[in-house]
Amino acid sequence: MTSASHTLLGVTLVGLVGFAAAALAEHQGHDHGTTVPAATQAGAGSRKITMAELHRSGGVPPGWKFALPGGDAVKGRQVFVDLECYKCHAVKGESFPASGGDAKNVGPELTGMGSQHPAEYFAESILAPNAVILDGPGYIGPDGKSIMPSYADSLSVTQLVDLVAFIQSLSDGGHTHGAAPAEKSTDVYTVRLAYHGGDRAGHEGLGGQAGHRAASAEPGHLMVFVLDRVTGEPVPYLPVSATIQTAGKPTRRIALAPMVGGQGFHYGVDVTLPTGAHTITVTIGAIGVRTMSTVKGRFAKPATLVFERGS
């Protein structure tokens, strides 16, 4: 990205704690189709803890992990354009202006990048690019530092989370609208849904010509991450299935298998999701192994979560 044309709001983001508070405040009533983890919201979903317990667990609640709120990929694309990120980062399938930047400072191509890293990694790269430096062309300059400038003083929190949502929507096949991960919670689980890779069935060609369809669609990978809402740890040994519903088409019900991948333990299946608006209903059954007395009955109640997804 370049630092030219910074016409956006300038808000300095200092520290993850301050950033988290600001992000939650700005996203009140900002509906992106994803929800802020319920453990971070005030009210019925809040967790109560004593000061002594807080100190015993290192100053944060047990299982605490900072999570970036969900953003709007469409608005994030506009932020990408306004910052002229296309001058350094190519994205296949997008009609961005031709690059006019310095060839020596061209960054990595972002096509497919959304399936390779979690949202928080992208946020850190945008705010503090020297926190993690990859050794290789397109990453570091002659001084040994990242060639990526920091945008901590150039973006509002909302613009940051929207920009991250856009980057996450860049799958292996290019920009797939509505492919950003979604997260929902129950009283027991935090469930994150993600779909990576593969050509969407009936996806239009890069020229956007109506009626131009792929002859065959390679299946992508549907992932469901099921976490204990209290500890934040993955919950194994659960029967997990997904029902895919699209208007005018037969309903499909598929079973997901427990597996480990680049993003850790999840329940997954190789499947081609339909284009256009569709609903994915995730059903979690009772745990299939004996539980200890400390969590007895906690994972025995089935749960159902509905994810609305668009094209």
pTM across the whole model: 0.47
For the segment 45-81, what is each residue's pLDDT rounded down to a tens digit? 566 778 887 777 777 777 777 778 878 888 899 999 9
**pLDDT value at position 181?**
60
Backbone angles phi, psi at 106, to 5 degrees: -75, 125
- At 78 the three-state DSSP class reads helix
Q: If you average pLDDT over residues 173-189, what whole number do you get?
A: 65
Contacts of 68 (CB under 8 A, 6+ apart): 23, 119, 120, 123, 161, 164
| Location of structure tokens 């990978």 | 221
Give yes or no for residue 20 having a pLDDT over 60. Answer: no
Which domains does the chain show, CATH number per domain?
1-175 (no CATH), 181-311 (2.60.40.2480)
> How many other CB atoms sit within 10 Å of the CB of residue 43?
6
Assign 6 a pLDDT band (cuts: 50, 70, 90): very low
Segment 86-130, tens digit of pLDDT: 888 888 878 787 665 566 667 888 888 877 778 888 999 999 999
**CB neighbourhood size of 69 (10 A):** 24
Structure tokens at 115: 């399936």
pLDDT at 105: 63
pLDDT tens digits, residue range 260-291?
Answer: 987 789 999 999 888 777 899 999 999 999 99
Cβ proximity of 291 and 263 under 8 Å: no
**Residue 170: Cβ-neighbour burial (10 angstroms; 0-12, 13-18, 19+):** buried
What secondary structure letter does DSSP report for 52?
A: H
State which of 100-104, 197-201, 235-239 shows the largest mean pLDDT. Answer: 235-239
